[in-house]
Structure 1
Amino acid sequence: MTIELHVADAPTAEDREAVLAPLRLYNEAMAGPARTEPVAILLRDADGHTIGGLWGRSGYDWLFVEYLAVPQALRGQRLGSALIAEAERIARARGCCGLWLDTFAFQARGFYEKLGFTVFGTLEDHPRGSRRFFLSKRLDG
């Protein structure tokens, strides 16, 4: 069998799934099913339009917060704290032992630390001249 490298100019959802399939099989053989479930906690205005919120997923006993966004004009009203608190409630209900997320140095590291998250990793020069922080918060200890 001949195998070649191919850089996709416009990768598709099918390409992504083809890459994930053997990884998913291996992971499940080693750690069991991930039981991945999405999490969406939305901020809606009076007209019902989604204007921010929290987006993530739970799997392998942790809830990953992929995005958390509160519009600039609404900051300082504890909406971010409420979003994290609701994510923690969902995580506990799903049997997760913690939450994890990442944030850039110019974003909200201090906010997350005030909520009990701790840094477990740092990526220097992402973007160049700055840092990206990886934080976690255990719920079982």
Structure 2
Amino acid sequence: MTLTIVPIETPSEADREAILAPLRAYNIRHAGYPRIKPVALVLTDDAGRKVGGLWGRCSYDWLFVELLSVPEGQRGGNYGSALMGQAEGIARDHGCVGMWLDTFEFQARGFYEKLGFELFGTMEDYPVGSRRFFLRKRF
């Protein structure tokens, strides 16, 4: 069999699935089923509008927090800590051994460290002149 590399300008979900399917099968053969569980916690304002929250997924016994967002005017009001605490409860209930995430140098590394997260990796120049940090918290 001969393979050809084809760049796709506007990839679709079907393109993503075609790339993911063989990787998923390989991973399941070697590491077992990942037990994926999406995690979404939404912050709403007084009018019921969605204004922030937490987005992540449990997979292979860890919760990855992909997004955490609190409106700027509400930061310092313990919403971020409450979201992370609730997400940790979900992760524990799902049998996870920990949580991990990434954050930019100009974002919230100190916030996460106050919650018990530790640095396990740094990517320099992402974006150029700054850094991206990878943190984890083992239960």
Q: Same fold (TM over 0.5)?
A: yes
Q: Which amino acid aligns with 2:62?
A: W
Q: Which runs of 4+ in 1 moved over 6 A?
A: none
Tell me the matched-pair count.
139
Tell me whether 59-68 or 1-10 shows the greater mean CA deviation: 1-10
CA root-mean-square deviation = 0.6
CA distance in 2, matches of 1:112, 1:122: 15
Q: Which amino acid aligns with 1:66?
A: E
Q: In the TM superposition, what whole-angstrom CA distance separates every residue of 1:42-84 from its partner, at most 9, and x where no partner exists? A: 1011121110000000010000000000000001101000000
CA distance in 2, matches of 1:70, 1:104: 16
SS of 2:24's partner is helix
Alignment TM-score, normalising by the size of structure 2: 0.98
Name the residue aligned to 2:49.
49
Q: Which amino acid aligns with 2:85?
A: A
Identity of aligned residues (%): 61
Name the residue aligned to 1:125.
125
Alignment TM-score, normalising by the size of structure 1: 0.97
Structure 2: state its 5+ residue gaps: none
CA distance in 2, matches of 1:59, 1:3: 31
SS of 1:43's partner is strand
- Report the CA distance between 1:2 and its aligned residue: 2.7
CA distance in 1, matches of 2:48, 2:30: 43
Name the residue aligned to 2:37.
37
Name the residue aligned to 1:7.
7
Structure 1: state its 5+ residue gaps: none
